[in-house]
């Protein structure tokens, strides 16, 4: 049974996520005001924010159930949005154009790891190291932790076992995730900050992206 304090905590996290949706909308409105026609940059940004919103909406529903395994998987998906935005920024800084990247994604399903900067492939680990280097925000630690919930790992084993008392473990099939409720506050805070960080990358790294070709 959820106590009132935990319910209030979850309500606060959900409200923060609702506020982020409004912030995303305001950002897009301001971006649209800068242009006369649609361009490749704005569509890429819109697609990432839409993906982020879908993840946020799922998170808001699942946080009520304490299903930490799925919540952490959603957080890992949000990390992927940040990796994509920063990875595109790296490519743009190294001579690529946003129009070219857009078309490669749309028509050829090209991934960041298909590109090289000198001899370095743009794997997640490389992009993450660059984010960590610039923002010093333990992004790499977050990535490694949340990957454990996407891929089968010790997290799957540990989350299936319940310590009833000293030297007594209980395991079995269950749809009751109340045992994870004490993790929800920190989990939710991390997710909220990650959703905000998405905009930090857009505002700081994408603001000077030049558009050489309008949509026909």
Residue 169, beta-bridge partner list: 163
Q: Write out pLDDT tens, residues 175-208.
A: 766 666 777 888 999 999 999 999 999 999 998 8
**Residue 38 confidence (pLDDT):** 84
> 204 — alpha (psi -120 to 50), left (phi > 0) or beta?
alpha
> For the segment 138-161, what is each residue's pLDDT rounded down to a tens digit?
899 999 988 888 876 555 545 555
């Amino acid at each position: 049974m959820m106590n009132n304090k935990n319910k209030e905590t979850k309500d606060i996290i959900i409200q923060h996520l609702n506020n982020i949706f409004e912030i995303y909308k305001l950002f897009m409105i301001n971006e649209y005001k800068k242009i006369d026609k649609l361009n490749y940059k704005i569509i890429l940004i819109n697609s990432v924010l839409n993906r982020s919103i879908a993840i946020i909406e799922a998170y808001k529903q699942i946080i009520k159930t304490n299903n930490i395994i799925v919540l952490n998987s959603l957080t890992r998906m949000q990390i992927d949005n940040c990796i994509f935005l920063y990875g595109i920024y790296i490519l743009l800084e190294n001579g690529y154009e946003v129009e070219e990247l857009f078309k490669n994604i749309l028509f050829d399903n090209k991934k960041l790891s298909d590109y090289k900067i000198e001899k370095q492939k743009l794997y997640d680990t490389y992009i993450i190291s660059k984010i960590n280097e610039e923002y010093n925000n333990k992004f790499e630690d977050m990535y490694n932790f949340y990957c454990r919930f996407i891929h089968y790992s010790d997290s799957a084993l540990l989350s299936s076992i319940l310590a009833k008392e000293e030297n007594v473990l209980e395991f079995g099939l269950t749809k009751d995730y109340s045992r994870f409720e004490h993790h929800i506050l920190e989990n939710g805070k991390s997710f909220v900050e990650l959703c905000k960080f998405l905009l930090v990358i857009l505002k700081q790294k994408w603001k000077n992206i030049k558009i050489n070709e309008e949509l026909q």
